[in-house]
Amino acid sequence: MWSRMAWPENEGGSGECGRGEGGPRLVIRPNDMGRMGLRLGRIRWLGERPWPNELRCRMRVGCRLCMTEGRDNMFQKVANLFSASNYEKKKIKTTVKGKVVLMKKNVLDFNDLGASLLDRAHELFGQHISIQFISVTHADTAPAAEKRLRGKLGKPAILEDWISTITPLAVGESTYEVTFDWDEEIGLPGAFLIQNLHHSEFYLMTLTLENVPGHGQVHFVCNSWVYPSKYYTKDRVFFANKAYLPGETPELLSPYREEELVILRGNGTGMLEEWDRVYDYALYNDLGDPDDEEKARPVIGGSSEYPYPRRGRTGRPTTESDPETESRLSLLESMKIYVPRDERFGHLKKSDFLAYGVESVLKFLLPEFETLADDTLDEFDSFEDVMKLYNGGIKLPQGPSLDTILENIPLQMFKELIRSDGEGLAKYATPQVIEASLTAWSTDEEFAREMLAGVNPVSIQLLKEFPPTSKLDAKVYGNQNSSIRAHHIKEHLDGLEVDEVLEANRLFILDHHDSLMPYVKRINATSNKIYATRTLLFLQKDGTLKPIAIELSLPHEDDDKSGAISKVCTPAKQGVEASIWHLAKTYVAVNDSGVHQLISHWLNTHAVIEPFVIATNRQLSVLHPINKLLHPHFRDTMNINASARNVLINSKGILERTFFTGKYSIEMSSKIYKDWVFPNQALPVDLVLRGMAVEDTNYPHGLRLTIEDYPYAVDGLEIWSAIKTWVQDYCTFYYKNNDMVQSDTELQSWWKELREEGHGDLKNKPWWPKMASVQDLIDNCTIIIWISSALHAAVNFGQYPYAGYPPNRPTLSRRLIPEPNTPEYEELERNPEKVFLKTVSPQVQSLLSITLIEILSRHTSDEIYLGQRECPEWTIDAQPLKAFEKFGNKLKEIEERIGMMNKDERLKNRFGPVKVPYTLLYPTSEEGLTGRGIPNSVSI
């Protein structure tokens, strides 16, 4: 092969040719081309391929342009070669227009104009935002250190008209054109790299290409913050909206898919910054302050004594006095707590959240105390005083009483506002529980109904043995079995014997005894005074429940091993006995409020789902179909949980200050987490385990409800079934057989990490489901979506409608039941209302609790509900899109059915004496305090 062919600079020059190992080198100089009659100008061709046989030429050293026979023909071929090459370039080279939709850096509802000016300055100096496509059909042949193929990179193209596009004051979408010089060798783009050389980050929403040669429109759904490139070790990569199992990923995209997951996992070290995109695990070791004895708390998680789900790692340094405890941020810095940037609230939610907070703060700070003396500032003297919260604004008292309030408010922001705004008007929305009647909440019927349709409808159980028994270790706690006997309840059973109603499945129990008894002595050593309670209820012929006995238990004064000291209270209508019965129901409500907030709400939705968010981002690529399925159900969860660790569940936080569990709150929830079982979170399984349903194929969903009018179960089973059908339709599209599940490396790594890391303290439990079949995948994903959406909605958005009126669901109690022949007992006889108000949450804690739950019960303006997606083009696959549309239509049918049932007066548990329809599992809602709607995720 000829290695070089050269023509002399002038006719007197000498040329040479010879053989070598390199590719051909052809130089045609202008004087020679002129002699050949060509007008191509100076051309150099450095070929990667062998020189064509017909163009080879023998040359001798020192000869002039010497050629063999057919010299003219050969040069004609040279000319044809270069003109054909030029022609081909013109033929295949074209331009493709793209449209990029993004949001610029913002501060709440406003664009950051300072950042925008700096970005324009960077543009002026040639520091642009550029995009490079990655081919899914053509390989990059450039040599690389790794011996694997990658998609060919297209030429970079910059976003156009950045400087000339006016940045509006209000946050909104900005659209930019981008023009690509399209090379046929790119073929179909499967991904793109983006490089941000601006000063500021931006939120990249979508990129749409129109008329890609041979492929038409290509769409990329991004929805991610892109920081300046200096913060990244590799350029950000985004993939087209097509899902692939790992083994089906186009070979040219696989390296990018794998590298992206490596980046998201991080290296497990160092403090994480806002631009980091790392998802990693940590213990709950950031709730307390070991340097302050009052604020010291044990590390939760990572031990058999205090097991717990993992939370997102921040990498903050540990405290000086305890290397096991992570340092805390001040309240003013709390907004900076690390969560991956894409997991943070969007600008609308952040703005709404802050507005609700400020509004609620004002309501907290400005209750009307005009008729109260200073010495009763912290008490509601009557139910009329409570109603002033909803009936008008008031003037804040000044003087020593103000200092008392300041000492009891944990949030610095509240304290600053109270100093700067001492007067004004404020009122809370009237909670639904007192809209129709001011007294119906206190009836026995409503007390029982809320166990089926209130804010905590997940604790009631069928009583399977009488008297009730305890599962507490008798060697530690002595005899903790119930002291309720047949003579306590017989007169309330409509003439039936106890054995008869037990056999007929008509006895139910709300049992908070075993979960609370180990903590009663410690709690009662504080200013709070509680009982461990058991409540027995009788199912009447009209389908409603009637409470028939309440057992109030305390640990033995001498020794825990001596068992419980219990008091059994039964219904009474008149006299002091009626007041005692009402107090007994109050102690049950206090117990249920704490269990609801700590267990049903925080632990069983917020805390347990966070490891799923982390593991999904670490192990399932954004290209993975299961990532695409689950991603909407993780929106904002890490952000709201991080906020909770800062101001709600931390030592001396709002929860500790307002609930009877006090400083033992999270510690107690860790003890209950020991018994958490993932597959039991499936609604049908849960109902059967609690005895609230039995399997029966003759009934809808294969279950016969023990209480036919159980609104949470009736509506919940409809939602559960719709979710499961949707998940089945989706998963069976991508997984045709069990082998595909077993051979999916990302899926198997995901499930393994969830067990061994995310819920690592329970990793050896035998109940963990397998991930060996398509049915396993369907079942597990259905449970995850159920917890994230419907279960959370059922236990969250009813908080203000029911607990916004503190007497209905007080969060703590300060007195035990008065004993006969005491001044307290005499006061109960004279003024039971005042004794009740002195027993339950005082004014400051009540206001703080209402302030909190009003925020938690609101839907923000950017909420996305079950059956909805943030972007309609979330996948290009037609069958999943059709299945999702079917899911949405099914949810609309369920909405209509719920509305019809709520109008059926025969279903008394759906509205009860308070006339509050059961709408907590109604799929959609408007913004605000509506008491209905199922958001996709645990987002508030």
Tokens, residue 784: 């995850």
**For residue 367, is pLDDT > 50?**
no
Cβ atoms of 220 and 239 within 8 Å: the answer is: yes
In the chain, pLDDT over 90 holds for what percent of residues?
73
Query: pLDDT digit string (tens) for 250-296?
Result: 999 999 999 999 999 999 999 999 999 999 999 999 999 998 989 99
Q: How confident is the model at residue 774 (pLDDT cuts 50, 70, 90)?
A: very high
- Average pLDDT on 380-394 reads 81
Looking at residue 125, its amino acid is F
In the chain, pLDDT over 70 holds for what percent of residues?
83
Tokens, residue 319: 């405290």
Q: Which residues contact 596 (CB under 8 A, 6 or more apart)?
A: 455, 456, 459, 795
Q: How confident is the model at residue 417 (pLDDT cuts 50, 70, 90)?
A: very low
Number of other residues whose CB lies within 10 A of the CB of residue 699: 13
Q: Which residues contact 373 (CB under 8 A, 6 or more apart)?
A: none
State how far the Cα of 808 lies from the Cα of 811, in Å rounded to an integer.
10
State how far the Cα of 153 lies from the Cα of 130, in Å rounded to an integer.
13
The fold adopted by the segment(s) 443-598+811-841 is Nuclear Transport Factor 2; Chain: A, (3.10.450)
Residue 546: which of 263, 865, 913, 105 has the closest Cα? 913
Cβ atoms of 308 and 761 within 8 Å: the answer is: yes
Query: pLDDT digit string (tens) for 78-103?
Result: 444 434 444 444 445 688 999 999 99
Listed range (110-124, 307-321, 766-780) with the worst mean pLDDT? 110-124
State how far the Cα of 924 lies from the Cα of 935, in Å rounded to an integer.
8
State how far the Cα of 625 lies from the Cα of 883, in Å rounded to an integer.
14
State how far the Cα of 589 lies from the Cα of 809, in Å rounded to an integer.
6
Report pLDDT for 635. 97
Looking at residue 890, its amino acid is K
Residue 710: which of 508, 504, 414 has the closest Cα? 508
Q: How confident is the model at residue 361 (pLDDT cuts 50, 70, 90)?
A: low
**Where does 95-243 sit in CATH, by number?**
2.60.60.20
Question: Which class for 101: exposed (0-12), middle (13-18), buried (19 or more C-beta within 10 A)?
Answer: middle
Selected residue with higher pLDDT from 612 and 27: 612
Residue with tokens 């007041």: 579
Compute φ and ψ for 567, nearest 5 degrees. -125, 130
Cβ atoms of 176 and 159 within 8 Å: the answer is: yes
Q: How confident is the model at residue 889 (pLDDT cuts 50, 70, 90)?
A: very high
Report pLDDT for 302. 97
State how far the Cα of 554 lies from the Cα of 480, in Å rounded to an integer.
10
State how far the Cα of 725 lies from the Cα of 448, in Å rounded to an integer.
33
Cβ atoms of 585 and 809 within 8 Å: the answer is: no
Asked if the bond preceding 467 is cis, omega within 30° of 0, the reply is: yes
State how far the Cα of 29 lies from the Cα of 594, in Å rounded to an integer.
90
Residue 157: which of 137, 199, 128, 124 has the closest Cα? 128
Sort strands 17-19 and 189-196 into parallel, antiparallel or unpaired.
unpaired
Spell out the alpha helix ranges (H) of 568-661: 575-595, 608-619, 625-630, 637-647, 654-658
Q: Which residues are catalytic?
A: 601, 606, 792, 796, 940
Q: What is the mean pLDDT of the chain?
A: 86
State how far the Cα of 798 lies from the Cα of 648, in Å rounded to an integer.
19
Compute φ and ψ for 909, nearest 5 degrees. -75, -10
Residue with tokens 């053509």: 138
Long-range (24+ apart) CB contacts under 8 A made by 827-831 are 828/576, 828/579, 828/580, 828/583, 829/576, 829/579
- Average pLDDT on 494-523 reads 97
The domain limits of the chain are: 95-243, 443-598+811-841
Report pLDDT for 89. 43
Cβ atoms of 331 and 647 within 8 Å: the answer is: yes
**For residue 51, is pLDDT > 50?**
no
- Average pLDDT on 703-717 reads 98
Provide the residue count of the chain.
Answer: 940
State how far the Cα of 101 lies from the Cα of 203, in Å rounded to an integer.
9
> Which secondary-structure segment (H or E) carries 123?
helix 113-124
List, edge to edge, every strand of the sheet that includes 174-182: 174-182, 94-104, 202-212, 216-226
Q: At what angle do helices 711-734 and 444-453 cross, to 10 degrees?
A: 0
Residue 33: which of 83, 68, 69 has the closest Cα? 83
Q: How confident is the model at residue 853 (pLDDT cuts 50, 70, 90)?
A: very high
Alpha-carbon radius of gyration of the chain: 35
Q: Which residues contact 503 (CB under 8 A, 6 or more apart)?
A: none
Number of other residues whose CB lies within 10 A of the CB of residue 494: 11
CB-facing half-sphere around the CA of 744: CA atoms within 13 A? 29
> Which secondary-structure segment (H or E) carries 196?
strand 189-196
State how far the Cα of 686 lies from the Cα of 818, in Å rounded to an integer.
38
Cβ atoms of 55 and 71 within 8 Å: the answer is: no
Tokens, residue 220: 């990329």
Query: pLDDT digit string (tens) for 141-180?
Result: 765 556 789 999 999 999 999 998 888 887 889 999 999 9
Q: What's CA 694's distance to the chain center, in Å? A: 32
What is the DSSP secondary-structure string of 464-476?
-SSS----S-HHH
Model-level pTM? 0.87
Please give the DSSP secondary-structure letter assigned to residue 117: H
State how far the Cα of 918 lies from the Cα of 911, in Å rounded to an integer.
6
State how far the Cα of 296 lies from the Cα of 489, in Å rounded to an integer.
45
Report pLDDT for 575. 94
Tokens, residue 296: 């010291």
Spell out the alpha helix ranges (H) of 683-791: 683-689, 711-734, 738-742, 745-753, 774-786
Q: How far is CA 17 from CA 26, 57, 62, 683, 743, in A?
A: 11, 9, 9, 84, 58
In sequence order, what E strands does 840-909 have?
none
Compute φ and ψ for 207, nearest 5 degrees. -135, 125
Cβ atoms of 728 and 778 within 8 Å: the answer is: yes
Residue with tokens 């307390």: 288
Q: Which residues contact 173 (CB under 8 A, 6 or more apart)?
A: 101, 102, 103, 205
